[in-house]
Amino acid sequence: MAELPGQIKRMSGGIKQLLEQIFGFSRRCLFRIISMGPIPNHLAFIMDGNRRYAKKCGLEEGSGHKAGFSALMLMLQYCYELGIQYVTIYAFSIDNFRRQPEEVQSLMDLMLEKIKSLLEKESIVHQYGIRVYFIGNLALLNDQVRAAAEKVMNATAKNSRVVLLICIAYNSTDEILQAVKKSCINKYTYNIEASGSYKHEDTDSEIEAKDIENQEKKIQLVDIEENMQMSVAPNPDILIRSSGETRLSNFLLWQTGNSQLCFPAALWPEIGLRHLVWAILNFQRSHSYLEKRKKQL
């Protein structure tokens, strides 16, 4: 009789393992079917709704973000299993610094803990060979978080299978602003050097040569784009924002001009496989039309 609880535990553990294997197998079959159509190359997530989830479940403040992190790991696993090469997540916006200092501090602490955990052997980074980028105005972060982020970027620099871009202390308008500044500085420096070395003989050739110079000096779209921090990845094919809010909140404005937008009502910790599959099926539906347009352009 004393063995019964132990037996039940072992049995339930075994059943659980079996169920996990069945789900895993079904999931891989499902992915194989979906992969017969076009798979997005780059997925972006706005992980909204953690605090509302905590409130809804009656949990304490920070637990929503912890549950959100678990949901994130699950989604990353699905994405990389499916063969999606780039995943970008909106971890912390520059606007979020305006929240209560206690909340900002607890978020920073959580992020520091999770960033450090990425370097552990069992982490998802090693499992999938992920190269990690931290995108944003890192100077706004405290020294510890920034140092941890830089360490992870260096440690994963040689990975090349899949890429994870974590937007932290990020705003799209800030990213564009920095790119505009750099473009101006580059062109300004070029102009000074060019005008310094230019010698003119008479007025006619001076005007003509100045016209040619003006053409070269004009900033082009590529100048701005190559100075954008997100230029390390192609533009997202799909942007998913959880919690049902339909706005971009200053995230990847430049890069999502032609992205499919998805706004599932689920709060971020509730996000699951079905939302991902639904987003990809919608993407496949409009993909052929978009490809035709791209070729025409």
Partner 1 sequence: MLSLRVPTPTSFRRLHAGRSRLSRDCLFSYSPSFVNRGVRLRVRSTKSEVALTPAEEEEEVTLPEELQPELMPKHVAIIMDGNGRWAKNQGLQPWDGHRAGVEALKEIVELSGRWGIQVLTVFAFSTDNWIRPRIEIDFLFSLFERSLKSEFQNLAKNDVRISIIGDSSKLPKSLLRLINEVEEGTKNNTRLQLIVAVGYSGKYDVLQACRGIAQRVKDGEIDVDEIDEGLIEQELETNCTEFPYPDLLIRTSGELRVSNFLLWQLAYTELFFAQELWPDFGRSGYVEALMSFQQRQRRFGGRKS
Binding segment for partner 1 among 109-117, 161-169, 242-250, 270-278 (CB under 8 A)?
242-250
**7 φ/ψ angles, rounded to the nearest 5 degrees:** -65, -45
Binding segment for partner 1 among 6-14, 136-144, 155-163, 289-297 (CB under 8 A)?
289-297
Taking the least distance from each CB to partner 1, the nearer of 34 and 184 is 184
Catalytic residue list: 48
29 lies in the binding site for partner 1 (CB under 8 A): no
- Residue closest to 129 by CA, chosen among 69, 76, 66: 76
Taking the complex as a whole, the smallest distance from the CB of residue 193 to partner 1 amounts, in Å, to: 13
Q: Are 79 and 161 in contact (CB under 8 A)?
A: no
Looking at 176, 209, 266, 277, which residue binds partner 1 (CB under 8 A)? 176
Q: How far is CA 102 from CA 57, 285, 297, in A?
A: 21, 45, 50
Site size for partner 1 (CB under 8 A): 48
**Lookup: tokens for 244:** 């049902």
Looking at 12, 154, 286, 288, which residue binds partner 1 (CB under 8 A)? 286
Taking the least distance from each CB to partner 1, the nearer of 24 and 244 is 244
- Residue closest to 47 by CA, chosen among 1, 102, 114: 114
103 lies in the binding site for partner 1 (CB under 8 A): yes
Exposed (0-12), middle (13-18) or buried (19+): which is 86, by Cβ within 10 Å?
buried
The string of DSSP codes covering 131-186 is EEEEES-GGGS-HHHHHHHHHHHHHTTT--SEEEEEEEEE-HHHHHHHHHHHHHHH
Taking the least distance from each CB to partner 1, the nearer of 81 and 245 is 245
Interface positions with partner 1 (CB under 8 A): 51, 93-96, 98-100, 103, 171-174, 176-177, 180-181, 183-185, 187-188, 191, 218-221, 224, 245-250, 253-254, 256-262, 282, 286, 293, 296-297
